[in-house]
């Protein structure tokens, strides 16, 4: 009987020790950095994937509807190709940067909560954490600009779509008035003023808005803009998490520090 009781006690202690170990491991998970990483990956994937396809559709619409002469939009085509290559670089960079920030979050969280013994940190470790704080702030400001820039094509496509809706709402016997409603893409400065035809009017404009390319590009630009916004939110979460961890690490590294968090 005593042997059985001792075995039960040992099993309960093993289960308790395993439970405490799991709780300890879960306590070292940087949940803020984890949420930010998932949000960052999702936002960057939406921005890069949808933006790449939407830019290709925009070039096709310009070539077919607004600029039949290749030389008129040659510069724009080169800029869009360059932007597509930049998108590849952004996707690769943020994939690596997100993983590095998540790993840094695990490191700082474990150090702050002293999960692996007595608190220890080095000047090099604090400098690396400070570097990530600074870099994340810079990237956050840069992505605010990207978010604003991604709203520009949404605004342009929305204006075109609104004009098409005006044409569709006109009575069938007002074709003359419909032909006077135009969209001049040259006023946005993306193609020169001598581009031919440079604008679309009436039924031609309504037909363009009915094409799958226009519909797809318009909605993809909206999703890309939403992805850029999600990335900005993710970077804000990163900024708060890294700044807090860095401040606590620096405070606890002081010799006169006796407060435990």
pLDDT mean across residues, the chain:
78
> Does residue 25 lie in a domain region?
no
Query: Euclidean distance between the first and final Cα of the chain, in Å?
Result: 46
Query: Under a CB-based contact definition with an 8 Å cutoff, are residues 183 and 65 in contact?
Result: no
> Does residue 164 lie in a domain region?
yes
pLDDT (0 to 100) of residue 50: 92
Record the pTM: 0.79
> Does residue 42 lie in a domain region?
yes
Residues 6+ apart with CB under 8 A from 208: 61, 65, 160, 164, 200, 214
> Does residue 8 lie in a domain region?
no
> Does residue 176 lie in a domain region?
yes
Spans in the chain with pLDDT lower than 70: 1-29, 109-123, 125, 172-176, 178, 251-261
Written as six digits, the tokens of 69 are 């002469």
pLDDT (0 to 100) of residue 113: 55
Residues 6+ apart with CB under 8 A from 114: none
> Does residue 257 lie in a domain region?
no
Q: Give CA–CA dist 226/213, Å, rounded.
A: 20
pLDDT (0 to 100) of residue 6: 47
pLDDT (0 to 100) of residue 164: 85
Domain of residue 133 covers 34-113+123-252
> Does residue 127 lie in a domain region?
yes
> Does residue 28 lie in a domain region?
no
Q: Give CA–CA dist 9/15, Å, rounded.
A: 10
- How many domains, in total, are found in the chain? 1
Q: Give CA–CA dist 141/157, Å, rounded.
A: 26
């Amino acid at each position: 009987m005593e042997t059985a009781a001792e075995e039960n006690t040992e099993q309960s202690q093993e289960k308790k020790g395993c439970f405490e170990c799991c709780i300890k491991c879960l306590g070292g998970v940087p949940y803020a950095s984890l949420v930010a990483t998932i949000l960052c990956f999702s936002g960057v994937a939406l921005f890069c994937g949808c933006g790449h396809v939407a830019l290709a559709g925009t070039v096709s619409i310009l070539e077919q509807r607004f600029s039949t002469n290749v030389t008129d939009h040659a510069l724009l085509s080169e800029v869009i190709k360059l932007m597509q290559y930049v998108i590849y670089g952004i996707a690769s960079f943020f994939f690596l940067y997100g993983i590095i920030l998540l790993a840094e979050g695990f490191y700082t969280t474990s150090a702050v909560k002293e999960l692996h013994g007595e608190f220890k940190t080095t000047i090099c470790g604090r400098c690396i954490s400070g570097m990530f704080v600074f870099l994340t702030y810079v990237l956050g400001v840069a992505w605010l600009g990207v978010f604003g820039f991604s709203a520009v094509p949404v605004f342009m496509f929305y204006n075109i779509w609104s004009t098409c809706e005006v044409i569709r709402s006109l009575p069938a016997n007002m074709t003359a008035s419909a032909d006077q409603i135009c969209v001049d893409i040259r006023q946005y400065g993306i193609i020169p003023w001598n581009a031919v035809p440079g604008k679309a009017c009436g039924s031609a404009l309504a037909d363009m808005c009915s094409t799958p390319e226009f519909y797809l590009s318009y909605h993809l630009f909206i999703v890309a803009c939403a992805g850029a916004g999600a990335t900005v939110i993710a970077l804000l979460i990163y900024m708060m998490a890294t700044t807090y961890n860095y401040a606590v690490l620096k405070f606890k590294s002081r010799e006169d520090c006796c407060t435990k968090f």
